[in-house]
Amino acid sequence: MPQLTVLPTRDDLPRGGSGRAVAGLTAALALLTLNRLTTDADVVASGTTANTGAEASYTISGEFFHNDGAWNFLVDPPLTPVPPGHFQKYFLLLDAEGNGRVQEAMPGTTLESVSLANLAPNPYEAVVELLNAAPGWACIAVVTISVDAAATAPFTPGVDALPGTPTVLDGFDGTIMLPAVGTEAAPQLAGF
């Protein structure tokens, strides 16, 4: 069962309403506080898998859990191939039972253009979708890859080894929300 509801469905809130934007931001920040990594996970990503180098301590709904994490990029349904010259981020999630899930972002031609628009059109609601999906998830790490523009074929997750040297960030990568909270890019508040 989902943990939080952004807003009940209402017809009287305009799609661009600031009240909905504030509710989305509040829900995302609450989930990032309640569902989070609390220790270094030392995630190592290579080949077609990623594993924690140490037992991860994390919280879901504020309750502590300790599990080893293992993720396989060969999942059903398969992850989307990444074209040459693109960047991609993979969010490595654990539930309370220690089950791993890989959530891909939308690839981009620049690192800043990678987004969670495949979950929701707004980054705040995408974070809520990411962490609030049943049974509740904590983001243990984010693996970022770059596919060389000179590559002759797309990178296919789970089939091809991770390209180059993947960057692994313990915990949640908050830069995925930056276009909405203020950077050089125009705010992307569509979907609220």
- Two tokens at 56? 């991860």
Question: What does each of the 192 residues of the chain score in pLDDT, given as a tens digit?
Answer: 455 554 455 455 555 556 777 788 888 999 999 999 999 888 999 888 899 888 899 999 999 999 988 898 888 778 999 999 999 999 999 999 999 999 999 999 999 999 999 998 888 899 999 999 889 999 999 999 999 999 999 999 989 999 988 999 999 998 888 755 544 444 444 444
Q: In whole angstroms, how far apart are CA 118 and each of 54, 80, 82, 113, 127?
A: 31, 11, 14, 13, 11
Which residue from 62, 25, 39, 28 is spatially nearest to 140, judged by alpha carbons?
39
- Two tokens at 17? 């309403």
Which residue from 164, 174, 165, 171 is spatially nearest to 59, judged by alpha carbons?
171
- SS3 letters across 97-164: CCCEEEEECECECCHHHCECCCCCCCHHHHHHHHHHCCCCCEEEEEEEEECCCCCCCCECECCECCCC
Paired residues of 144 in beta bridges: 89, 167
Say whether 175 sits in a helix, a strand or coil.
Answer: helix
Rounded to two decimals, what is the model's pTM?
0.84
Q: How far apart are CA 119 and CA 104, in angstroms?
A: 9
Q: 22: which residues sit within 8 A by CB, 6+ positions away?
A: none
- Residue 89 has what pLDDT? 96
| Cα distance from N-terminal residue to C-terminal residue, the chain | 23
- Two tokens at 31? 């989930």
- Residue 121 has what pLDDT? 84
